[in-house]
Structure 1
Amino acid sequence: MNEIDILKADILDKVKKYYQLLYKNKKPFIPKKSCVNYAGRVFDENEMINLVDASLEFWLTHGRYSNKFESKFSEYLGVKYALLVNSGSSANLLAFMALTSPLLKNRAIKRGDEVITVAAGFPTTVAPIVQYGAVPVFVDVSVETLNIDITQLESAHSIKTKAVMLAHTLGNPFDIRAVKKFCDKHDLWLIEDNCDALGSKYEGNFTGTWGDIGTSSFYPPHHMTMGEGGAVYTNNKHLIKILLSMRDWGRDCWCKSGVDNTCGCRFLKQHGTLPFGYDHKYVYSHFGYNLKATDMQAAIGCAQIEKLPKFIAQRKENFDILFKGLIDLKDVFHLPQTLPQSDPSWFGFPLTLKDNVPFTRNEIVEYLEANKIQTRNLFAGNITKHPCFTVLKEGNDFRISQHLSMTNKIMCDCFWIGVYPEMSKTAIQFMIDTIRKFMRQYAIK
């Protein structure tokens, strides 16, 4: 080893010691004093060592670790292609915008075309549709699964429909078989927003891999983290070319960062009406973005993905404890239900108040929060009710198919609590006991 290698090894060894001194010994959970977070990052010295290793290389942008992560992630999911991006929201933006590419000819989504989705979810599943000028068509959801009510699909369809874009809510797979059958029947694209469902399976295959494009988020609360970060994946070799172009400024060139002339004819082609031989590295076939993540984020991801199976197993176990501990409150709450062919990798544990219970969602949520138990609403509840929709006109800018009665029910009466991997059994039992204590105020046992 030379002097640089010795110094680097010493730095990384000190990082390991730093982790052990600062983070390794976790504080015990103390009811009513310790916060029961709905989610949190779970890491050890390996993430920190990778992060410092990447920073010492100082490549910063997409590089060695990014390539390694994309390879490991696609292998894990069993898909041909995966692209690392800077967030789950960017992943959704990229997935949707790829379907507007002129390279798709008559299947390309154009302004004014319709995309079927739901209003009960996170805004960035819908935002790309609206921002492009396509028309989201909202269908209702099931209060038990919190996923799309598939009986409304046909009524939502029109001659303008080009795609379906749906999330697997809190890790619970929607009825992919039915949705995919509908898409195949009408020749529609299917985007699976898999940001809350990494590791979930449907009929034995991972969610996110059934549609034309899947997306993931690596924000700290999610199944694995890079701090910020996301991914887009597909088995379609035509779509991956478009996705890569749009992620990297819209360029026509497919050279990796720091590499020139992969095609061998950088100055030897005609592109559009540009002068013959115009530098291929500066030819743009799409109006794209720079959505790449940094190599430091990818370095964290390379350590996280090794832990992912354990994370998923722990989430399932934590969910099961909560379900068993609250199952006899089924007259008070709509407890989460799954499809027989689903195997969820849960992001959270949802509870929806049944009609005519003697308390409101805010009352129980405020009680839990006062006892240091974090809660979250089901994201937007009904996105069409939010201030961002006040400038949009129903019928022109968006359309509601039939009704959103269950969506409104969820907006008013649903909340969820955490199941993340580092949550202790003591903390989980405290959540169960606290919910039960709240119920006793209303003579509910």
Structure 2
Amino acid sequence: MTDLPNVLFVTVDSLRADHAHGGKAETPTFDRVAEAGTEFDRTFAQGPYTTFSMPSLFTSRYPSRLTSIDFVDGVEGVLVEGASTIQERFRQAGYTTAGIHTNPLLSELFGFDVGFDYFDDGLGGFSDRLPGKFALLADKIGRLVRRHPYVPADRLTDRAIEWLQSTDDEPFFLWVHYMDVHGPYQSKDDIQYLEKYRSERLWRKAVHSPIEVTESERERLRETYVEEVSFTDREIGRLLDAFEESTGLAESMVAITADHGEEFFEHGSYSHESKLYEELIHVPLAVDPPASHRAIERDRGSLVPLLDVGPTLLQAAGASLDGFEGTSLFESKAADGRDCERPEGEPGDLGATIVSEARLDPVYIGAVRTSDWKYIDDAGDAELYHLGEDPNESSNVLESNPEVATRLEELLDAHRSGYSAETRSTEHLDSDELDGRLRSLGYLE
């Protein structure tokens, strides 16, 4: 038996911060972890969609510090390749590592399997082993037969519990990523194949023709989104119970967060596009550290980038944090000496800042956020919002606050200077299964 804690890391695709712990959905499991440990109210993703946020989360490096790539037409992202990942650091520290999910953009095609002793990404199915037109036909039939474009939360939890019950290796790091909160949202109360057809039809309309979505359709999207959040939380609860039974919670580490949020036409779109508004980058985070580990130093109101999650998990495991841009939540100051606590400076003091990025090449879309302000550079078009007075980011106050805008622009420019187009990959990924899954999820028409 080791003194190192077992670690359970749960991520939920597309989960907005305002739908967890006292939000718009019932989330007793998230509440349970938050109340046992610490919930961070102001946690922000480094990208508004999976292909930027998750590589950044798993490498604790900003998207602009990683290799950028066009995965397929219309889907841009960055790669973990060439950067040290959380799972590799856990394995170097003597951990058995397991990753279980069903997101095609986090598959072995993109190198996410590297560092995992056990990796189940739900991809690489039967159609990939067939030649040419037979593979295309098999994939089309598979998409028609499947009730979901991903493995639903109850079956994913079953897979994770099966792994927990089959391993006697300690310590271990288990990562589980749930997709149900990602569109197309499906009600669990209706006939499933009929609901699949209805939900996918509405989802395609919302993603590709958002202006045509009626108010009643928007309400249905919101209602089924809430239902998916609650369903996923219940299944995470079942996983947490199995984790507790197999390992005990007192000397274990549990963290739950999301890769990004979701838009419901607040700024003219649905799903998650190349935008950096709060509904897309503000995510929930709850961390329950081992009882014997020293207390988390950060205040729950601190600005927390997702960059800090990996170092936090690794520090509790005694693993190396060298080379990461994020800083453990067990520390009150970042590696560069900046204060990580909620800024309490004089009016006009910008305090702590967080950078998020949505596009790197051929145009740059980035944002820098402080306690009260957000500055967005959208391919050369600048926006400035006072979040304390305008949390919905409805009024661009750039012209009336030129000094603040200039200071934040300089900060973002300094950050952007670290990106080099030479790191862009020209690699092309050819997978019928990936293409079909992306179409089911609404990324491709």
What TM-score do you get using the length of structure 1 for normalisation? 0.31
The higher radius of gyration belongs to 1
Which of the two has greater strand per residue? 2
